[in-house]
Structure 1
Amino acid sequence: MPAGTKFVAIPDRGGKRVGSGGATLEVLKYLHEQEEDFEGLRVLVIHSGGDSKRVPQYSALGKFFSPVPHKLPNGRNSTLFDEFMISMSSVPSRIREGMVLLSGDVLLLFNPLQIDYNNVGAAAISFKENVETGKNHGVYLNGENGNVKCCLQKKSVEVLREVGAVNELDCVDIDTGALIFSTDMMRSLYSLIATEEDYDRHVNEKTRLSLYADILYPLAEDSTLEDFYQEKPEGEFCEELTEARERVWKVLRPYRMKLLRLSPAKFIHFGTTREILALMSGGVNEYSDLGWSRLVGSSIRNNAAGYNSVLSSKASVGSDCYLEVSYVHGNSKIGDRCVLSYIDIQDRIIPDGIVLHGLKQRDGRFIVRIFGVNDNPKENLLFGRDLDELERNFDVKFWENQPHTLWSANLYAEADTIQEAVDASLELYAAVTGEKVFDRDSWNAVSHKSLCAGFNDADPDAIIAWNRRMEDLVAMDEIAKAIHNQVPVDQIGKRHLLTKIQKEWVRKRLKKADFSEKMRLHYYLGMVLDDENEIQKCFQTIQSEVLESTIKNLVYNEKSRIVSERHTVKLPLRVNWGGGWSDTPPYCNENGGTVLNVAILLNGEKPVEVTLERIDDLKVIFDSRDMDVHGEFDTIEPLQMTGDPFDPFALQKACLLACGIIPREGHELSEILKRLGDGFVMHSEVTNVPKGSGLGTSSILSAACVKAVFEFMGIAYTEEDLYSHVLAMEQIMSTGGGWQDQVGGITPGLKYITSMPGLEQKIKVTHVEIPEETKRELDERFVLIYTGQRRLARNLLRDVVGRYVGNEPDSLFALEEIQKTAALMRFELERGNVDGFAKLLDYHWELSKKVDAGSSNTLIEQIFSSIEDLIDGKLVCGAGGGGFLQVILKKGVLKQEVEEHLNNVFMDSLVCVADCRLVW
């Protein structure tokens, strides 16, 4: 997560249950106290305040921090919290601002890159599920305008069909519990508690507003106030709740809730001990592609599942067992289908179907809670026996003015050691099951706690200490040798801090290091020390040195003049066929690059358009219709401020600087414009091309800007001038991109593009001539597919460059092989062998995934899989991870067949065949 991310745990008011809606208002109150306004905030709210009654071994941890069978990349064992952060980490890039809300006991597995939310009203994240599953959950009914028409909670199949919630494939839009609120809606909700009096009225144990019943209900199109009053509450019906609902209706009814239908998607419910045992004793295999495993950080040699646990050689464990942060040693024998959690077992026999969980209390004593795998602590049964009946038979008191449930029954003896507590729990089991006569005197001699009291009195520091791990240390000279010998950085041990001597060593080494060693030294230090500042210095070194070499020949052009009233440049897009990534710094600077690409039209048009127009005012105006931004500048300083990727005019400013129209520093804008012969407007637009398309739109737009400026200002240029100026723009904007995109758009047809090693890249473009018959065949067999999702190149560049700089073997091999593949592609096309080209495209796809695992994802793999029998070759466009995909059809296959296959699998999503034409 970004370094500025703030994590906060907010308890219910006064320790009383205030409902999930009340808790949401508590969050808004906290945010308002910190920021006063919600603008610009991106907030993830996870409702995780339950007691974990049905999985008591996670009560003290908090179910949200329960173990998950996954070892994280940093070597730490994962928790449900970690998995939430992983699955949700891409969401902030999909929303400009607002609040995402989730339920803390359901892990959603979906692709956040499909989220399309414009910060208006609310949005509900949904995915397709069979109606038989949907009847046991919430189902959304979609309105004609894409908003939620109504929310159907646990309705029968017949009712779901009757209201039109079931599609032709017997699927419904299921309620995942994931929601997004806009900043305006956050403000409206906050208005409910803006005063202390309003806060008291809405956030309390009696009103207990529900997020789903009280806040979502008014957002559905078909909701009515009369029906709202009758919605089942989280607490009890009361006058206070009715009045609160009336106020909630008033502030929320103006909003609507968009339905975001994502595919594919799945959820995992960590609801009961039985579900967790089923997951660990076999179900985990379904999630092996996520890196989940039956054994995580454990020393276990039989078929038991383990999480941070040890099973000694003399001990034995039965079938379908799960050891969790536990030590089983001596001659212990564990029965079948047992769960051991935070426990130490020595020379003990544990019966079948048992859960044992140890807890150290704040007073230093221990309790071990024992119950059956199938027991529900919300009920009144223990090992199948009625607790009221046992209480009468034993002639003891399990409860004192408490609900008669297993959760609140005082059954578990306090002991001085964990082994004594284990023995006490086994004595309880024997008495309850009738294996041993109950000893009332021994029972009365010690105090007992319930599942509830045991977790309330647990020592959290002891839980943390039980899990603690340490990192190894690595000497500084080993880092230098690793860099020299191309040892991957992930094979280097971790360090915490550098000593004074080590810091001095780094300073001297950096002073004499060349470009290659300097960037790698920063990167290795950053990875070894987990120091983001050092990693950033690596990328700053790349940017600054490449920028310096790129712009050294760029000068302020004092002779340019406006030569026309209006001038327009239109450019096509490009698809990359071979060599992608080899054109990207620093790889191309150290090794040179080789790329094969071709220009394309989308929807029959050249979608990139830049128009420059003279105006009478002495000002510079930027107007971007597709971005819906407009800016006017009458002073020069704002135009010279670059490097901010979130600046809506970063590209236009970089263009004027790179072309020498605006100097990098100093001067007066009015004087420059007088010399030019008036002010001007730069209109820029990319028409009908989704963001993050992978078709090179950003760099081609840069190229169009440079070309338009040169021609509008009467500046003579060559194609090589265009390439070098756009590359300078990329470095000025700090996007770190390569050079193939702008070449693909500026130069028509099929191009073979190369460069030699060096900080200053000299680009050589060769136009590839192929037979006319081959062109026709490619026109028929080439298909472009839109995935409906996007991924920002800036985000993945860091990962790809890091893998290269960190000497990751797969990355080094793939980047070298990719260049050779581009050359072989040219060879096959020149001799008219489209089948051979298609095979190379497939091989390139495998190489691309070695360069960046993020170039593919579940959606992309599913798209390719769904049309596998129709295609001979496949590759992502651009860096991948979203945008467009490209395929070569088998001979005789029609594009319509691909469209039909995709429609059958992806239904209402945005996945589709694009209208694309190769430009020869």
Structure 2
Amino acid sequence: MRAAGERSAARREATGRRLARLAALRGEAALPAGEAALPAGEAARPGRFWDVVALTAADAEQALGYRRQLAEKLSRKELPFGVRYHVFVDPPGPKIGNGGSTLHVLRCLEDLYGDKWASFIVLLIHSGGYSQRLPSASALGKVFTALPFGDPVYQMLELKLAMYIDFPSHMKPGVLVTCSDDIELYSTGVAETVTFDKPGFTALAHPSDLTVGTTHGVFVLDPSSFSGEGGLEYTSCRHFLHKPDIETMRQCGAVCVRGNSSQLSSSGERRDSERDSECVYTDSIFYIDHSTAKQLLTFYKEVGPLCCEIDAYGDFLQALGPGATQDYTKNTSNVTKEESRSVEVRQKLYSLLKGTTLNVIVLNNSKFYHIGTTQEYLFHFTSDSKLKFELDLLSVAFSIFSDKAEALGQSASIIQSILEPGCCIGPGSVVEYSRIGPEVSVGKSSIISGSYINVKVDIPPNCFLSSLSIKMNDQVKYVSMVFSVEDDLKKSVKLLSDIPSLQFFGVSLLECLGLWGVNVSDQLFSSENTRLGLWTARIFPVCSTLSESVRMSLKMLNSVQHMSAFKLNGFKLLSVEEMLAYKDVEDMLKFRKQIYDEICLQKQKEKSAL
């Protein structure tokens, strides 16, 4: 096996090539696959691109924001032309999960294009949801998360298009399913290609530590057709495990030794040195060929409106392979809310898909990065030297950052922002789409997003600050949420008496409410279904300007840190849930565009001065 440094360098080279290919297509007409399928024996057609790039949205308001951002990107020539870009909204009612969204997209494609969709090569990016673990992406979407490189900066959407840019040329009609908060970097041999041309499902697999496997899908591969060596291998999966514990991985024979095809049985014993190199092969994206997609669409029409969540990984892939059993259909531990029909629907899906092949493309030299939480976001963009090297991430990306700025902490990341001379950004912090004044000090490991800070202030370490424009009574207002990057916004309680267990910046929320003069009552939370938590707590003041909203929220935080009162009497208070319901996408994009225009002007001046 090659040394880790060589593998990382190979991934960097391959990634750079793919990014360069996309850069050449931005603002140019791509060549969609159209109705040109790949008949048996026909050579791949270089340069083919997606017929459809589809984004899913949780509701109409989120969809509107996505469409506005797509239109802005196309007007700036930041995306390839000639592609059908669509945003599909989940049907109203209960949450249907990314599996339900996949089924709904198939229905939408047929409604739009009739039989023509049978020839389409589709990239489906799941981007619905409210990003409670990374709230800076809640308003405008995880798929539009800014990345610290590019001129202008790339967002997750462009990175997805770049990383999969080789696929359409080697793909038969069908749908490639991915999520919007992960990055897959890989390299293959010169003569190796990733080809999606087999019936059924085809998934990519990545070598991962066993602990990573407990939070992902894990493949039990067929050892007779798999060596664990080289850049790429085609094999089949006997059984797919969804978020298994380590004991289950061992019992099912999913554990391998790196660079060796032998999978360890539950009774297999190895020396410590071999145990150190143990791995499992975990999931990321998968492809559904058109025939199987049509079967799923027929199922969706027959079952009628979904009233439960379906997981594209847990409920589709667990039904596949010769070792699949229907035991998982009764396990609802990974379902957000157990619905009365969830077991019934999952069993019907299992019956439909049972016997379908799960082909696996093992990318031996690949790395999977998840950017779905504040901690992951900070780590990967500031501290993870491997991702920084392989993706060539910058400390300052498409920003105005004066040499006179007092300090830029080691590993800090500045993305499309304006930092005035004299400000100080602590190590390991990320600042995006913001304007930071001269007497502002940002503590280490903090996230500042969409904010304008123009007063002297010391922002503490581990601070999460994100500002939103909202519209109330036809007037644009502003609210800034502030938390610790370690606060759990998904945690909720059912009774008001349980509020003391909720934590805001390490302090009981009940104590914080006392400092802010906010009464505990039925009106404190915006949720109607007894979901009482930081996400639904009405604690953030509505202000008339962006800078004022930042100032007020930081005063709230300061009062908690110094245990001194800061009364919120007289302010209209909103929860994060309500901020998103009232969000004004146009005004937020307008603020970003002001920063964009100012950076472009500055760059133009610098260019003219040379």
- TM-score over 0.5 for the alignment? yes
For residues 86 and 144 of structure 2, the distance between their equivalents in structure 1, rounded to whole angstroms, comes to 14
Amino acid at match of 1:87: M
Residue 382 in 1 paired to residue 504 in 2? Answer: yes
For residues 300 and 319 of structure 2, the distance between their equivalents in structure 1, rounded to whole angstroms, comes to 18
Amino acid at match of 1:296: A
Q: Deviations over 1:309-341 (max 9, x none)?
A: 122113333333322111112423333333221
Q: How does 1:282-301 map to 2 (within 5 A)?
A: 282-283=383-384, 286-300=387-401, 301=403
For residues 215 and 334 of structure 2, the distance between their equivalents in structure 1, rounded to whole angstroms, comes to 19
Native 8 Å contact 2:102 2:312 kept in 1: yes
Residue 243 of structure 2 aligns with which residue?
Answer: 154
Amino acid at match of 1:396: N
For residues 376 and 478 of structure 2, the distance between their equivalents in structure 1, rounded to whole angstroms, comes to 27
Residue 279 in 1 paired to residue 380 in 2? Answer: yes
Residue 188 in 1 paired to residue 267 in 2? Answer: no
Amino acid at match of 2:213: G
Residue 373 in 1 paired to residue 485 in 2? Answer: yes
For residues 307 and 125 of structure 1, the distance between their equivalents in structure 2, rounded to whole angstroms, comes to 31
Residue 19 in 1 paired to residue 19 in 2? Answer: no
Residue 357 in 1 paired to residue 479 in 2? Answer: no
For residues 231 and 217 of structure 1, the distance between their equivalents in structure 2, rounded to whole angstroms, comes to 13
Query: Structure 2: 5+ residue runs without aligned partners?
Result: 1-29, 32-80, 226-234, 259-276, 492-501, 601-606
Residue 232 of structure 2 aligns with which residue?
Answer: none
Q: Deviations over 1:648-667 (max 9, x none)?
A: xxxxxxxxxxxxxxxxxxxx
For residues 518 and 543 of structure 2, the distance between their equivalents in structure 1, rounded to whole angstroms, comes to 22
Native 8 Å contact 2:144 2:155 kept in 1: yes
Cα distance, 1:227–1:329 mapped onto 2, change above 3 Å: closer
Q: Compute the displacement of 1:254 (Å).
A: 3.6
Cα distance, 1:283–1:34 mapped onto 2, change above 3 Å: same
Q: Deviations over 1:403-447 (max 9, x none)?
A: 2211111111001112221221122112323442242xxx23111
Cα distance, 1:349–1:172 mapped onto 2, change above 3 Å: same
Residue 569 of structure 2 aligns with which residue?
Answer: 444
Native 8 Å contact 1:219 1:256 kept in 2: yes
Q: Compute the displacement of 1:287 (Å).
A: 2.6
Q: Compute the displacement of 1:281 (Å).
A: 2.9
Q: Deviations over 1:868-887 (max 9, x none)?
A: xxxxxxxxxxxxxxxxxxxx
Amino acid at match of 1:447: K
Cα distance, 1:173–1:34 mapped onto 2, change above 3 Å: farther
Match of 1:87 among 160, 163, 177: 163
For residues 385 and 316 of structure 1, the distance between their equivalents in structure 2, rounded to whole angstroms, comes to 27
For residues 357 and 472 of structure 1, the distance between their equivalents in structure 2, rounded to whole angstroms, comes to 21
Native 8 Å contact 2:176 2:288 kept in 1: yes
Match of 1:7 among 85, 92, 114: 85
Q: How does 1:77-156 map to 2 (within 5 A)?
A: 77-111=153-187, 114-143=193-222, 144=224, 146-156=235-245
Residue 62 in 1 paired to residue 137 in 2? Answer: no
Q: Deviations over 1:390-413 (max 9, x none)?
A: 446745143254522111111110
Residue 4 of structure 2 aligns with which residue?
Answer: none
Residue 234 in 1 paired to residue 234 in 2? Answer: no
Q: Compute the displacement of 1:232 (Å).
A: 4.4
Q: Compute the displacement of 1:15 (Å).
A: 5.7
Q: How does 1:207-222 map to 2 (within 5 A)?
A: 207-222=308-323
Q: Deviations over 1:776-806 (max 9, x none)?
A: xxxxxxxxxxxxxxxxxxxxxxxxxxxxxxx
Residue 327 in 1 paired to residue 435 in 2? Answer: yes
Cα distance, 1:229–1:457 mapped onto 2, change above 3 Å: same
Q: Compute the displacement of 1:156 (Å).
A: 3.8
Higher relative contact order (CA 8 A, sep 6+): 2
For residues 214 and 333 of structure 2, the distance between their equivalents in structure 1, rounded to whole angstroms, comes to 18
SS at match of 2:421: coil
SS at match of 2:314: helix
Native 8 Å contact 1:42 1:92 kept in 2: yes
For residues 599 and 435 of structure 2, the distance between their equivalents in structure 1, rounded to whole angstroms, comes to 24
SS at match of 1:114: coil
Cα distance, 1:231–1:346 mapped onto 2, change above 3 Å: closer
Q: How does 1:46-57 map to 2 (within 5 A)?
A: 46-57=125-136
Match of 1:343 among 451, 462, 480: 451
SS at match of 1:408: coil
Match of 2:254 among 165, 181, 184: 165
Q: Which has the larger radius of gyration?
A: 1
For residues 356 and 283 of structure 1, the distance between their equivalents in structure 2, rounded to whole angstroms, comes to 22
TM-score using structure 2 length: 0.70
Match of 1:251 among 352, 356, 359: 352
For residues 243 and 157 of structure 1, the distance between their equivalents in structure 2, rounded to whole angstroms, comes to 29
For residues 466 and 41 of structure 1, the distance between their equivalents in structure 2, rounded to whole angstroms, comes to 37
- The alignment yields a C-alpha RMSD, in angstroms, of 2.6
Residue 36 of structure 2 aligns with which residue?
Answer: none
For residues 598 and 176 of structure 2, the distance between their equivalents in structure 1, rounded to whole angstroms, comes to 34
Q: How does 1:389-408 map to 2 (within 5 A)?
A: 389-391=511-513, 394=517, 396-397=519-520, 398-400=524-526, 401=528, 402-408=530-536
For residues 93 and 281 of structure 2, the distance between their equivalents in structure 1, rounded to whole angstroms, comes to 33
Cα distance, 1:295–1:330 mapped onto 2, change above 3 Å: closer
Cα distance, 1:185–1:225 mapped onto 2, change above 3 Å: same
Native 8 Å contact 2:242 2:318 kept in 1: no
Q: Compute the displacement of 1:263 (Å).
A: 2.4
Query: Structure 1: 5+ residue runs without aligned partners?
Result: 474-492, 494-920
Residue 549 of structure 2 aligns with which residue?
Answer: 421
SS at match of 2:393: coil
For residues 403 and 237 of structure 1, the distance between their equivalents in structure 2, rounded to whole angstroms, comes to 15
Q: Compute the displacement of 1:286 (Å).
A: 3.7
Q: Compute the displacement of 1:123 (Å).
A: 1.1
Instruction: Number of aligned residue pairs: give it.
Output: 462
For residues 429 and 435 of structure 2, the distance between their equivalents in structure 1, rounded to whole angstroms, comes to 14
Native 8 Å contact 2:207 2:281 kept in 1: yes
TM-score using structure 1 length: 0.48
For residues 426 and 338 of structure 2, the distance between their equivalents in structure 1, rounded to whole angstroms, comes to 49
Cα distance, 1:233–1:220 mapped onto 2, change above 3 Å: farther
Native 8 Å contact 2:219 2:283 kept in 1: no
Which deviates the most, 386-395 or 325-334?
A: 386-395
Matched-pair identity in % = 22
Q: Deviations over 1:9-67 (max 9, x none)?
A: 11110164112221111011011112323422111111111201111111111111011
Native 8 Å contact 1:337 1:352 kept in 2: no
Native 8 Å contact 1:285 1:293 kept in 2: no
Q: Compute the displacement of 1:7 (Å).
A: 1.3
For residues 432 and 336 of structure 2, the distance between their equivalents in structure 1, rounded to whole angstroms, comes to 35
Residue 609 of structure 1 aligns with which residue?
Answer: none
Residue 579 of structure 2 aligns with which residue?
Answer: 454
For residues 279 and 575 of structure 2, the distance between their equivalents in structure 1, rounded to whole angstroms, comes to 42
For residues 89 and 376 of structure 1, the distance between their equivalents in structure 2, rounded to whole angstroms, comes to 36
Amino acid at match of 1:308: Q
Q: How does 1:510-525 map to 2 (within 5 A)?
A: none
SS at match of 1:364: strand
